[in-house]
A and B are shown apart, each in its own frame.
Chain A
Amino acid sequence: MTESESQNTNVVVAGLRAWSANAIEEVIEFRGETTVVVARKNLRAIAERCRDDRALQFNLLSDATCVDRFPMEPRFELQYHLVSIPLRQKVRIRVPLFGNDPIVDSLVPVWPGANWLEREIFDLFGIQFTGHPDLRRILLPDDWEGYPLRKDFPVEGYRDIPAIATRYTRSRP
């Protein structure tokens, strides 16, 4: 990590710490990237702070995605990648979620661009976003069963294999 990168990181973390001493659960530095772990009850407030604080100005929600660490608990990790265009900074916000209660506040009121990103996470991981204006499946058909990017969803899918295909699969060890 270069000198300037480490200073940037400190600005982000210090900015959030100055606002609320226990907003951040943990700070992870890996390969020059800063990950700020926050509890889900603080997510919306921290997102608003990141966008509005003069010292942070994270105006662009670059990406939002999820990681499934099944069978570990908390199994889901939401990953938000924020970019500050004026200050040339980047930060990742991580929110751990338990498998029996995958619900989190939607960030659409903070960044409207979160709309489809959250729909995609809902579609593929089954995470519920409270306050989302239009939480429907986006990539898969509406009648699809299950959440394919979960680790307990097999790569081949659940559905019955057509008769022709079984001839080949039966001989497989």
Chain B
Amino acid sequence: MTTVETATGPAKTMVLNMGPQHPSTHGVLRIVLELDGETVLKAVPDLGYLHTGIEKSCEDKTYSQAITLTDRMDYLNPLGNNLVYCLAVEKLLGLQIPKRAQYFRVLMVELQRISSHLVWLGTHAIDMGAMSVFLYCFREREEILKIFEFVAGQRMMTSYIRIGGLALEPPTGWVERVEKFLKMMPSRIDEYESLLTGNRIWLGRLKGVGYISAEDAVAYSMTGPTLRAAGLAYDNRKTFPYCSYEEFDFDVPTRTESDCFARYIIRVAEMRESLKIIRQAIDKMPAEGPIRTEAPGIVPPGREKMKTEMEALIYHFKIFTEGFSPPAGEAFATVESPRGELGCFVASDGSPKPLRCHFRSPSFINLQALPKLVVGQLISDVIACIGTIDIVLGDVDR
């Protein structure tokens, strides 16, 4: 308890622990709030409850083994994590990826983006008191998870994107299933919008809440929908294209209000843009072609080859026992995750295990601007702010 001077004389402030067990902190985040009545005077986030030392574990694994660890950081965007790690290692190795694999990667991460935004929309709506939207969002997310299960055998921790390409050839009928999803989804997004965009409670809780200026957002290294809601069209897919994103025609939605409502509008618009990208990826996809690059000793050979060629068998054995050794050096790859700029820094000393593997996780960096957003606002707005920054605690703590 401390005493503060207010307009009506000295008043007592209260320190409130929000979390770590609090449903609207989306995991285990603790925020120490100093309150004057219901107004937030100070907010200090306290993290690390989910710290699992993934970066240290990566140093003890071979390059291909570490892929499975990346899935488990941002558990709403496992394919994006696989992708950024593989891009960094491929850069280190100087590998070129076949076009067909690149389009498939784009297709997969865009599906993942929609599924991540759906979880965000559903859980954020529940935080704001709209229960039914959650059920509708998870209904569509389930369809995406089934699509992932169909192609990779796993719903969430797919580890489908591998160094040099993809794990498996997509099965027959998979693309048709994605097409079916594409046909259904636009009307479903309209449905969410009809429930929320004009909703008076929704507007009252989000409009004008959690403002941050564009200058502050950049200074605090914020990226993703939060930065775009402040008016800066910084999207890695456009600014520093990877995986042939430069061949796709899509818009980067921006707003200038920079409040929680603008972030909601941007995420919904991004879902529609992702649908556009998936459509183009299916149309552009070459019918035939390799899904893995030809790199003996680095990328595992196909099953058929392994059974007929002695050399392929030896490479297969060596890749899975001792791994491969990239040249000494460093590489930093960035992708646009649903939450912002996701980066992976890999340093090699020429041995089969990474010397250092660091992830620039957007949740961690965006979260540090939270005090900037909530100070001076009401305690109920803190929940709206945490929600619209869209943090995933697995990504924050790693």
**Cα distance A105–B398 in the bound complex, in angstroms:** 26
Surface stretch bound by A, among B100-108, B357-365, B378-386: B357-365
Interface of chain B, main secondary structure:
mixed
A120 — which chain B residues lie within 8 A by C-beta? 364
The answer to whether A139 touches B47, judged by C-beta atoms less than 8 angstroms apart, is: yes
Could you give, for residues 6-34 of chain A, a 1 whenever the CB lies within 8 Å of some chain B CB and a 0 otherwise? 00000000000000000000000011110
The answer to whether A116 touches B332, judged by C-beta atoms less than 8 angstroms apart, is: no
The answer to whether A79 touches B330, judged by C-beta atoms less than 8 angstroms apart, is: yes
The answer to whether B48 touches A62, judged by C-beta atoms less than 8 angstroms apart, is: no
**Cα distance A137–B358 in the bound complex, in angstroms:** 18
B60 — which chain A residues lie within 8 A by C-beta? 155
Given contacts A65-B358, A67-B355, contact A111 B347 (CB under 8 A): no
The answer to whether B220 touches A113, judged by C-beta atoms less than 8 angstroms apart, is: yes
The answer to whether B329 touches A116, judged by C-beta atoms less than 8 angstroms apart, is: no
A140 — which chain B residues lie within 8 A by C-beta? 48, 51
B330 — which chain A residues lie within 8 A by C-beta? 30, 33, 35, 67, 79, 92
The answer to whether A63 touches B347, judged by C-beta atoms less than 8 angstroms apart, is: no
Q: Is B368 an interface residue (CB 8 A)?
A: yes
Q: Is A135 an interface residue (CB 8 A)?
A: no
The answer to whether B239 touches A88, judged by C-beta atoms less than 8 angstroms apart, is: yes
Q: Is B57 an interface residue (CB 8 A)?
A: yes
The answer to whether A116 touches B368, judged by C-beta atoms less than 8 angstroms apart, is: yes
The answer to whether B56 touches A148, judged by C-beta atoms less than 8 angstroms apart, is: yes
CB distance from B105 to the nearest CB of A (A): 19
State which residues 301-357 of B face A: CB under 8 Å: 329-332, 334, 341, 343, 345, 347, 349, 355-356
CB distance from A4 to the nearest CB of B (A): 12
B interface bracket (residues with beta carbon within 8 Å of A):
35 or more
Q: Is A85 an interface residue (CB 8 A)?
A: yes
B232 — which chain A residues lie within 8 A by C-beta? 85
The answer to whether B329 touches A31, judged by C-beta atoms less than 8 angstroms apart, is: yes
The answer to whether B57 touches A155, judged by C-beta atoms less than 8 angstroms apart, is: yes
**Cα distance A113–B220 in the bound complex, in angstroms:** 4
The answer to whether A112 touches B240, judged by C-beta atoms less than 8 angstroms apart, is: no
The answer to whether B329 touches A30, judged by C-beta atoms less than 8 angstroms apart, is: yes
The answer to whether A92 touches B219, judged by C-beta atoms less than 8 angstroms apart, is: no
Could you give, for residues 78-91 of chain A, a 1 whenever the CB lies within 8 Å of some chain B CB and a 0 otherwise? 01010001001010
B220 — which chain A residues lie within 8 A by C-beta? 112-113
The answer to whether A88 touches B360, judged by C-beta atoms less than 8 angstroms apart, is: no
CB distance from B74 to the nearest CB of A (A): 16
Q: Is B23 an interface residue (CB 8 A)?
A: no
The answer to whether A31 touches B360, judged by C-beta atoms less than 8 angstroms apart, is: no
Q: Is A104 an interface residue (CB 8 A)?
A: no
Which of A66, A69, A81, A90: most chain B Cβ within 10 A?
A81
Q: Nearest chain-A residue to B331 (Cβ)?
A: A31
**Cα distance A111–B221 in the bound complex, in angstroms:** 8
The answer to whether B240 touches A88, judged by C-beta atoms less than 8 angstroms apart, is: yes
CB distance from B283 to the nearest CB of A (A): 27
The answer to whether B234 touches A31, judged by C-beta atoms less than 8 angstroms apart, is: no
The answer to whether B332 touches A113, judged by C-beta atoms less than 8 angstroms apart, is: no
The answer to whether B92 touches A31, judged by C-beta atoms less than 8 angstroms apart, is: yes
Q: Is A127 an interface residue (CB 8 A)?
A: no
Q: A68-B356, A81-B332, A85-B234 are in contact. List 17 more A-B contacts (CB 8 A).
A: A31-B92, A33-B332, A59-B218, A60-B218, A60-B221, A62-B343, A63-B343, A63-B345, A88-B240, A112-B216, A112-B220, A113-B219, A113-B365, A113-B369, A117-B221, A138-B47, A149-B55
Which A positions have Cβ atoms within 8 angstroms of B?
30-33, 35, 59-63, 65-69, 79, 81, 85, 88, 90, 92, 111-117, 120, 124, 137-141, 148-149, 155
15 contacts between A and B (CB under 8 A): A30-B331, A31-B92, A33-B332, A60-B234, A65-B345, A65-B356, A67-B330, A79-B345, A85-B232, A88-B239, A113-B221, A124-B55, A139-B397, A149-B356, A155-B57
Closest 8 CB pairs of A and B: A113-B221, A63-B360, A139-B48, A65-B358, A116-B368, A139-B51, A67-B356, A113-B220
Which B positions have Cβ atoms within 8 angstroms of A?
47-48, 51, 53, 55-57, 59-60, 91-92, 94, 216, 218-223, 232, 234, 239-240, 329-332, 334, 341, 343, 345, 347, 349, 355-356, 358, 360, 364-365, 367-369, 397-398
